[in-house]
Structure 1
Amino acid sequence: MKRPQVVETVSDLRAVVREWRKQGLSVAMVPTMGALHDGHVSLMRIGLERADRCVVSIFVNPTQFAPTEDLDKYPRQLAADLDRLAQAGVQLAFTPTAAEMYPEAFAAKVTIGGPSAGLETDFRPTFFEGVATVVAKLFLQALPDLAIFGEKDYQQLCVVKKLCRDLDIPVEIVGAPTVRDAEGLAMSSRNAYLSPDELAQARELNKILRHAAQALHLGADAQQTLDEARRQILAAGFGSVDYVEARESDTLARWRRDREGRILVAARLGATRLIDNVEIVRS
């Protein structure tokens, strides 16, 4: 099992990718914040299926955390992450410091409208500004042919697609299906925060969403269905529900029955905030 090459600077990253390009090789990228799990590995496998080489960035991006959020507590386990990359066959890990990504006097920001409106932004107002800025930087640093993002963070996926379309960034964005455990819980680095009892409660979330999506598919009233889903989530033991909403799949505008849609949710279980989404099949 060969461990990936590890680089920490933008210049070293570009040097490796430049050499790949000289050999005529295509490049995939998987941006991550580390604490890698099977969901991340599934993205890497897609990257290696679609391109000759794959680079995975591991960077806990401070600009997407609000002062009240868990930046300092976010799990960091670089040695274990590099083992995961080796098992997946990834060739290159980019592990920059915050000073490398945001040098002194850094002042640029990327703001995306459209799909960033509402949902996460209602509760984390600067989140997508931080995501869009760091993703734009990573794409310009690595210049990959394609990048793979999981559908679990569905609003983020839509924002990244909009970023590349609007700024003419020549990177194909590939959305990958959410990886779940045997009982339907979406894989997330934050699942490590959950106690055994909380894990059992968390596994009810996707079941409730799937039931609601099926009801909408069969013609149920949208608001009544979403209100009932909220009630069921709270009854399952969640302390609060930030949102549970139906949105159009492409634009994240309010869902209309003749459009493809998604139900998206964010809910808090103890000290942990979980997000998930399911497809609404058009009737």
Structure 2
Amino acid sequence: MKPPHLRDKQVLAFKHVMECGTVSGAARRMLIAQPGVTRLLKQLEHDLGFHLFERVRGRLVPTPEARLFHREVERVWTGIEHLRDTARRIRDREVGGLRISAMPLLGMTFLPDVLAEFAPAHPDTRIELATFRSAQVIEDVITQRSDLGFAIVADNDDRMDSERFRLDSLCLLPNRHPLTARERIRAEDLQDQALICFEPQDPLRLALDRLLDEKGVQPCRYLEVSLALQAARLVAKGFGIAILDPLSAKAFGENTLTLRPFEPNLGEDFALLTPRDQPLSRLARDFIAAFRQGFDQATSSSPAAG
């Protein structure tokens, strides 16, 4: 025997009659005439091969078979409604997850600000932000442990797609430092200054060391730190001056220190990384758009952009 051929409208009519107890109530719910509901029920009974209702003193009474069938209809209908709701939430970006790995330069300064703007529009979405050195970020993206990564990348890697961004360099000064009188700070101005800088292997530190060697400039002392926020805090406390990127400088607060463009520009590139041949979710694409917008706003208003 062939399995019954069920039509959605027939099953819906049956469901409404079971819930309302009358054909007229089901007709009102379905916005059709009562004869239309009766016809759908008869078609469903024919397709099922058993009776669903009997008339007892003018009332429709479900048969035992109808009650068994209704339990399954409710179970399946609940599942369908759940699927519809899930599809809607996926469409509206309310579900899913996003894992982002970032080097400290972005993970501890700029990206939290982007997420603070982005996350409220996605209240049911799990978003993770992990901060690692660039080598670990790259590994996370390649192995797809992260959906997105932000890292300094020396060469292109055919296992990842990358979009490059440029960060200019700024000189951070204590508010009352004599060099704040200058519109721009040059390498020669660092002579005999207390310089707060990154560890020797850092790309910005390497570029700064090369520049100072070329110019014959000798700061009076070096104070080495691991993180940009450490450098900015020490500058604000008057321990010296630092060459940093605008995102780190602004994260600390421009009211507590003075920012000046630094020449020549020692800016460095970082990359937005995504797994190669792996389609991005709508959530990831939305976050990338929010990041680009925030980055453009932050860097266009930087003193280095003026």
TM-score, structure 1 normalization: 0.29
Bigger relative contact order, structure 1 or 2 (CA pairs below 8 A, ≥6 apart): 2
TM-score, structure 2 normalization: 0.27
Q: Which has the higher helix share?
A: 2
